[in-house]
Each structure stands twice: as C-alpha cells, then as structure tokens.
C-alpha cells in the first residue's frame, strides 16, 4: 500500500503512523520507504514542493511506531537500518480494534500510586478484568489500613464507614456536609461498580480503555486516601 500525499499532509500523527504501519512488509527499511515515497508518482515525475515537509512527517510517524514498540530492530538483519514489525505491531496492523490497546497504554504512561503495580502488570498482560479488580482491591486495602477498620468490613460498607460524614475516620472535617457525603458516595460507588461485581460473578472487560479508566479512577481514590492519612498524622 502506497501512502497518499494528502494522508501524509493531513492525518494526525497517530493515524498517519498506523497507516504507515499497515503499508509495511515484515522487514521494513526506513531508507527504502523514503525512496519509495519520493518516487511514488513514477520516475522523472516532478515532486511536489512540500516533499521535504512530507518526508519529515513520515520520519515523525516512524518515530511514533518505534516509541510504541510497533516496529523494532531486526534481529536477523540489523545492519543498514532494517527493522521488523513487532508482534504487537502485527496485531495492530491486522486488527483495527487492537488500536484501542495502544491508546489505552498511552493513558497509563504516567506515574501511578505504588499500590496499583499489580493492576498495571495485569493490564500489560491483557487481563483487563483482573487489572480492574486489582485496582479497586488496592483501594479497599488502603482505606481499611488508614481508617483502622477490621478485616470483616468489606466493600461498600467499608467505604461508608470510613468516609461517613458523621464519624468517618477518613472524612475531611473542613469540607461541608454535602461534600463529605459526595466523597463517601464516590468511594462506595466505585467499589460497588468495579470491585464487588468481579468478586461475585464473571465480568467481561473487553475494552482496554475502560480498564485503564478504572485504574485511573483507583489512582485518584488512592490520592484522596493519601491526603486523609496525612491529615490523621498531623
């Protein structure tokens, strides 16, 4: 597949990168890609005046593919700039739905609370159900620890007790009553929706983006718990 000039000029970088990926053979060479693109209209045909700009965009797209581990150095023929489409790259090239994994992984690129290491590992393995459960389990464990509540108090009941506007150990005494109640509802709703169902029945998490959002929600909740712990220590 030859990349069209207008695609190279106008597509957002991630879309251009994926279009480039779909055009590659199993053992691509970027220098050959550049030369092929230069001559895509036929030998001797005048090149468009913005050819250098388009070549720079192709270079950016190649760098994007490398940074997402969709192409990598060839183990069989490393000299001369030869590469290979990685296993992940082949999956994305052949399955448009697999692109969601790339977007989702991007959203987990930043720092997360250390308690979410298991969730992150399971996400990387493609086990989105376990990743989501592990993320909310980490929230439950931290809430119980910081609030000093017994092990038999679980799930939604634990959240309601820890953040009770009346006497919850983790409530923010400087927040007004409605905000305290909303925080309790936030924790109870998150645990009820994403931790408890997976404890009681099989839940299908087919969307990697949704799994990432559950992990990010858990990260936010853990930061709130962290602030509560700082209040208690002070």
48-106: pLDDT as tens digits: 899 999 999 999 999 999 988 899 988 776 666 789 999 888 888 887 777 777 878 88
Same domain, 86 and 184: no
Query: Does some domain include residue 105?
Result: no
Query: Does some domain include residue 212?
Result: yes
Confidence of residue 187 (pLDDT cuts 50, 70, 90): very high
Determine the Cα angle at 202 with ends 201 and 206, to 5°: 145
Task: Give the three-state DSSP class for 11.
Answer: coil
Residues in the chain: 234
The separation between CA 59 and the C-alpha centre of its own chain, rounded to angstroms, equals: 24
Helix (H) or strand (E) holding 190: helix 177-194
State how far the Cα of 118 lies from the Cα of 174, in Å rounded to an integer: 34
H helical segments located in 68-176:
87-94, 99-107, 117-124, 128-147, 155-162
Would you say 26 and 85 are in contact if contact means Cβ atoms under 8 Å apart? yes
> What is the total count of domains within the chain?
2
Same domain, 125 and 220: yes
Would you say 218 and 118 are in contact if contact means Cβ atoms under 8 Å apart? no
Same domain, 85 and 125: no
Among 2-6, 201-205, 211-215, 227-231, name the one with the lowest average pLDDT: 201-205
The separation between CA 71 and the C-alpha centre of its own chain, rounded to angstroms, equals: 19
Same domain, 83 and 125: no
């Amino acid at each position: 597949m030859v990349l069209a000039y207008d695609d190279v000029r106008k597509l957002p970088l991630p879309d251009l990168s994926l279009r480039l990926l779909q055009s590659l053979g199993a053992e691509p060479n970027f220098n050959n890609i550049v030369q092929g693109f230069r001559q895509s209209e036929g030998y001797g045909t005048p090149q468009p005046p913005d050819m250098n700009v388009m070549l720079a965009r192709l270079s950016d797209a190649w760098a994007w593919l490398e940074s997402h581990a969709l192409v990598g150095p060839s183990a069989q023929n490393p000299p001369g700039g030869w590469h290979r489409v990685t296993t992940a790259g082949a999956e994305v090239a052949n399955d448009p739905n697999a692109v969601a994994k790339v977007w989702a992984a991007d959203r987990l690129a930043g720092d997360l609370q250390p308690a979410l290491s298991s969730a992150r590992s399971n996400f990387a393995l493609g086990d989105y159900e376990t990743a989501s459960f592990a993320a909310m389990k980490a929230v439950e464990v931290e809430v119980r620890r910081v609030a000093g509540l017994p092990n038999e108090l679980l799930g939604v009941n634990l959240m309601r007790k820890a953040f009770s506007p009346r006497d919850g150990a983790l409530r923010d005494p400087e927040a007004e009553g409605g905000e305290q109640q909303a925080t309790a509802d936030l924790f109870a709703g998150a645990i009820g929706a994403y931790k408890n169902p997976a404890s009681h029945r099989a839940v299908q998490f087919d969307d990697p983006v949704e799994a990432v959002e559950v992990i990010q929600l858990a990260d936010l909740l853990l930061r709130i718990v962290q602030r509560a712990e700082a209040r208690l220590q002070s």
